């Protein structure tokens, strides 16, 4: 069951992007619901992700007020924030 009090996650992505696929797999592994936003192929047309993150590259994860780019930063963040804690 997903806690409705947690911020809604939004992932700016491209389905053909291997780095984005890594992040989507981690989100699925953790059972996290998220809104996926497919970005246009041309960087100049990625206005929304540029407005959010200041750059056109994907993946970009938005978690409330937290904005993270790069799968090598997003995945550890997801593990730390939402990973299952040992009892």
Question: In order of start, what are the domains of the chain with their CATH numbers?
Answer: 9-82 (3.40.30.10)
Higher per-residue confidence, 6 vs 40:
40
What spatial distance separates the first Cα and last Cα of the chain, rounded to whole Å?
Answer: 18
Sheet hosting strand 34-38, strand order edge to edge: 34-38, 9-13, 60-63, 66-69
- pLDDT tens for each residue of 29-70: 999 999 999 999 999 999 999 999 999 999 999 999 999 999
| pTM score | 0.87
CA angle 14-53-5, nearest 5°? 85
What are 49's two structure tokens?
A: 């992700």
70: burial class by Cβ within 10 Å (0-12, 13-18, 19+)? middle
């Amino acid at each position: 069951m997903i806690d409705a009090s947690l911020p809604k996650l939004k992932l700016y992505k491209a389905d053909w992007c291997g780095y984005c696929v890594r992040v989507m797999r981690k989100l699925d592994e953790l059972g996290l619901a998220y809104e996926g936003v497919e970005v246009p192929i041309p960087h100049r047309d990625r206005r929304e992700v540029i407005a959010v993150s200041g750059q056109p590259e994907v993946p970009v994860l938005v978690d409330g007020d937290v904005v993270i780019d790069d799968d090598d930063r997003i995945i550890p963040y997801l593990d730390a924030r939402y990973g299952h804690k040992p009892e």
